[in-house]
Structure 1
Amino acid sequence: MSDNNLMQTLATTVDKLSNPQSFKGLFHPHRDGNPLPSGKILEEIVMLLRAILFPGYYGNSSVNIHTLHYHIGVDVERLYHLLSQQIQAGLCFMEYNADDKCNCNIKQVAHKLSSQLIERLPAIREVLSTDVIAAFNGDPAAESTSEVISCYPIIKTLTNYRVAHELALLGVPLIPRMLTELAHSETGIDIHPNARIGKYFTIDHGTGVVIGATCVIGDNVKIYQGVTLGAKSFPLDSEGNPIKGIPRHPIIGNNVIIYANATVLGRITIGNGCVIGANMWVTEDMQADTIKRCETT
């Protein structure tokens, strides 16, 4: 191809890609002075959160009992500033206000939300400590809780999820989903930030697990790899569009075990103490203390 033909091809392609009809619904106009949420910065936020919640396991490897207060202080201060920036970007990205440019009030809202999340970190750590115990007690191969914190994908995933869930409860847009998708990419575990999960929760191995947005999970629940807690077909409105915001995922009671590759669909209730065997397909309620497994001949 000659240089002239190449330049003509490139110019024609740019014209097509720049045609408004070609990117309808795919283009987000950028407002000057308002940065978009950054995946790279959110990755740093995740590492700060892990260092704060599990000091000595993540972050500065030289931290000790004498320097702990200092290191956590430094990390919390940086977390506050980075999280405030990202929340502000998320608010502007989702067109929090109708003005052409996000005003200074958005910045104040972002700083308040960031401080509220940080205020909840001690409670988040307390719940995560129960998840560590559940993972350790649920795996005979685990030699220590230190191994669980350092190595197990479920702890990394739950750190992201439990922080993201609190941000979602605070009404922060976009950022919670980005945090859980970072964990999804890292571990293969997909938990929507709006799902409600109790204490002492664990997923053995983890890869391929999906937990939907309106799922409710009680305490002392153990799930194995490949489990889906999902929805059935979506109800449509009069124009044929899916109806948003309705409960469509399972309610899982306390002390439930769901084995590998089981699929639980719809707004059904799995009672306390139930066991769902591997590869099962469940679309109806299960009474408490029921076992559902494949029948053998």
Structure 2
Amino acid sequence: MHDMPQTERCRTAIETSRHFREEVPDVVEKLVASCGAGTCFDHIGPEPIPSREAVIDLIHRINRLLYPGYFIRTRIEDFNLRYYFGQEATALFELLSEQITLAMRHDCVRHNLPCIQCEEQGQKAAISFMHELPNLRAVLATDIRAAFEGDPAAKGYDEIIFSYPGLLAVTIYRIAHRFFEQSVPLIPRIMSEHAHSVTGIDIHPSAHIGESFFIDHGTGVVVGETTEIGDRVRVYQGVTLGALSLPRNEVERLRTRKRHPTIEDDVIIYSGATILGGETVIGARSVIGGNVWLTESVPPDTRVYLKKPDLIYIGGTR
């Protein structure tokens, strides 16, 4: 083929490409058939479902209201603050209402529920959430201060807001938790899993977390669905607040039961610690050391550490 003239090589390449492209319709037919087989998952029909991209956009829009001036390129000053909030809030209401309505309507169709006037309920849920924005700002302010007071590396509040993955994950959790409390389907989990994907921190929107919560470094932190966390709690990377493994036939029975631990006020949990079980309670002001594995409760004011391992040095002067 290397001895062919350039024009012949081009014709051969074109014919080869045409041959492969002619197989595309066959692939399309097989894909269409797979959608009607009932063995795969798809959403095909006239009623759209919430858009993951739109929900992620909502997170960015909500952040611009929670942290005005931080996540936009334009300058905000006293004289245009009301205009800024008005523009952002109006756009948020319209987009949020639409996505909540889609989520509710999808849930109704999926479970064959009686009509709940999804559009009106979507708008009601959207404005109800927006009324919570000032309270959310106040709670997040306690989280930011906790991060500054708990991390000597933090040079200021701006650095924490701009760059700490722990604050980003907690911010999205607090947003998603409000929607979860309103029984908005799908959207809270889309939000929390987006936070998980960008920070490595997995917080279920159903978990209950108090004020002044600080996740240091953060990667690998897991906070399960029925976890309860008090005020002024600090956790480090790799901490798991999870459930004990269950036999498959027990999953449905325990789906609505408390399966994750309770962490009381002023607890510190160091990196790699694993705390499991719905009856496990870590008492107030306790300190859980790194890599500790706990499936039983700890009374208040307790320190739990692993015994120091024997280190072996090879080479050098030791």
**TM-score, normalised via structure 2 length:** 0.84
Q: Tell me which residue corresponds to 1:284.
A: 296
Q: Tell me which residue corresponds to 1:65.
A: 78
Deviation, 1:241, is: 5.0
- Note closer, same or farther for the CA distance 1:20–1:37 as it changes in structure 2 (3 Å cut): closer
189-198 or 45-54: bigger deviation = 45-54
Deviation, 1:14, is: 4.0
> Structure 2 counterpart of 1:266, which letter?
G
Q: Tell me which residue corresponds to 1:225.
A: 237
**3-state SS of paired residue (2:78):** coil
CA contact (8 A) 2:167 2:215 kept: no
> Structure 1 counterpart of 2:238, which letter?
G
Alignment of 1:90 onto 2:103: yes
CA contact (8 A) 1:250 1:264 kept: yes
37-46 or 200-209: bigger deviation = 37-46
Q: In 1, distance between residues paired with 2:68 and 2:137?
A: 11
Deviation, 1:96, is: 5.3
Q: In 1, distance between residues paired with 2:231 and 2:111?
A: 42
Q: Percent identity among equivalent residues?
A: 39
Q: Tell me which residue corresponds to 1:56.
A: 69
- Note closer, same or farther for the CA distance 1:152–1:19 as it changes in structure 2 (3 Å cut): closer
Q: Tell me which residue corresponds to 1:266.
A: 277
Deviation, 1:47, is: 1.2
Alignment of 1:90-169 (within 5 A): 90-95=103-108, 105-169=117-181
Deviations 1:178-220 (A, max 9, x none): 1111111111111000000000001001111111110000000
- Note closer, same or farther for the CA distance 1:23–1:12 as it changes in structure 2 (3 Å cut): farther
Query: Gapped runs of 5+ residues in structure 1?
Result: none
CA contact (8 A) 1:235 1:243 kept: no
Deviations 1:237-293 (A, max 9, x none): 58x756411110010000000001111111111110111111111111111111111
> Structure 2 counterpart of 1:94, which letter?
D
57-66 or 69-78: bigger deviation = 57-66
CA contact (8 A) 1:235 1:242 kept: no
210-219 or 12-21: bigger deviation = 12-21
Q: In 2, distance between residues paired with 1:99 and 1:23?
A: 18
Q: In 2, distance between residues paired with 1:3 and 1:144?
A: 58
* Match 1:26 to one of 41, 48, 51: 41
CA contact (8 A) 1:38 1:86 kept: yes
- Note closer, same or farther for the CA distance 1:67–1:5 as it changes in structure 2 (3 Å cut): closer
Q: In 1, distance between residues paired with 2:54 and 2:254?
A: 33
**3-state SS of paired residue (1:94):** helix
Q: In 1, distance between residues paired with 2:16 and 2:154?
A: 64
Query: Gapped runs of 5+ residues in structure 2?
Result: 1-14, 311-318
87-96 or 149-158: bigger deviation = 87-96
CA contact (8 A) 1:234 1:242 kept: no
153-162 or 187-196: bigger deviation = 153-162
Deviation, 1:11, is: 5.1
**3-state SS of paired residue (2:306):** coil
- Note closer, same or farther for the CA distance 1:232–1:3 as it changes in structure 2 (3 Å cut): same
Q: In 1, distance between residues paired with 2:18 and 2:72?
A: 54
Q: In 2, distance between residues paired with 1:113 and 1:208?
A: 32
Deviation, 1:66, is: 1.9
Q: In 1, distance between residues paired with 2:53 and 2:141?
A: 27
**TM-score, normalised via structure 1 length:** 0.90
Q: In 2, distance between residues paired with 1:8 and 1:120?
A: 56
Q: Tell me which residue corresponds to 1:247.
A: 258
> Structure 2 counterpart of 1:136, which letter?
F
Alignment of 1:202 onto 2:214: yes
Deviations 1:134-184 (A, max 9, x none): 001000011111211111112211221101101100110000111111111
CA contact (8 A) 1:88 1:110 kept: yes
127-136 or 13-22: bigger deviation = 13-22
CA contact (8 A) 2:97 2:126 kept: yes
CA contact (8 A) 2:108 2:115 kept: no
CA contact (8 A) 1:256 1:275 kept: yes
- Note closer, same or farther for the CA distance 1:274–1:96 as it changes in structure 2 (3 Å cut): farther
Structure whose alpha-carbon radius of gyration is higher: 2
Q: In 2, distance between residues paired with 1:254 and 1:246?
A: 23
Q: In 1, distance between residues paired with 2:34 and 2:53?
A: 30
Deviation, 1:29, is: 3.0
